[in-house]
Amino acid sequence: MAKHYKVLFLVLSISYLFSGELTAAATATTTTKKALSFIKSSCKTTTYRSLCVHSLSTYANTIQTNPQRLIKTALAVTMKHAQSTKLLVSHLKNSQYRTLQDCAPSPYVFTIDRLTEAVRELKLSDSESVQSQFLFHVSKTQALFTSASDDWEVENTCSCRFSSTAKSVQARLVNLRKETSNVMSLFNAFAK
C-alpha cells in the first residue's frame, strides 16, 4: 500500500512540475508576442522599418514593451555594428582604404564617436531625477543623433572602384547609416 502512495506522489509531483513549465512557457510566449507587436508598432516611425524590426526582434524578451529598453537596445545594436564595421575597415589594404576615404571621407568615424557620446548622454538621462536635466540630456542626445545621421549624407559616386571586400565595407556603411537613422527616429518618437 505504501508503494502505491509513492507512485501516486511521484506521478503528482511530475505533473505539477510540468504544469508549472507549461504555464511559464505560455506566459513567455504571450510576453514575446506583446514585445514583438510593440517593436513592430514602434518601428513604424522609422524610415527603414523592415531593418528596424529585423534588428530588434531578436531582443524582444529584453525590450518587452518598454520604450527606454527599445531605444537602448537599438542604440546598442547600432554601436555593435559600428564597431564591427570599424574593425573591418581597419583590415582593408592601404589602396582599398584610400579609395574608401576618397569616396566617403571617414563619416563612420564621426558617427561612431557621436553614437558613443549619445550612449553616454542617454545613460546620464537615466541618473537624473530633475525633469529639466532629463530634458537637457534628451535634447543633447537628439542633436547627436541628427549630427551622426548628417555625417552619412556624403554621396558615393565611385563604388565601381571598390574591390569585393571594400564593397562589403561600403554595404555595411550604408546599413549603419540606415540603423543610425532608425535609432534617431525611435528616439525622437519616444522623446516627445
**Cell numbers that stand for 6 in this block:** 509513492
CATH 1.20.140.40 for domain 2-191: yes
- Report whether 174 contacts 107 (CB < 8 A): no
Helix ranges restricted to H, the chain: 2-43, 49-57, 60-63, 67-90, 94-103, 107-127, 131-150, 164-191
pTM: 0.65
Give the integer Cα–Cα distance in Å for 22 and 28: 10
Per-residue pLDDT tens, the chain, 192 aa: give them: 555 555 555 444 454 444 454 444 444 567 789 999 999 999 999 999 999 999 999 999 999 999 888 988 888 888 888 778 777 777 777 777 766 666 654 555 556 666 666 666 666 665 545 445 555 655 666 666 566 555 544 444 555 555 666 667 777 777 877 888 888 888 888 776
Sketch the domain layout of the chain as residue ranges.
Answer: 2-191
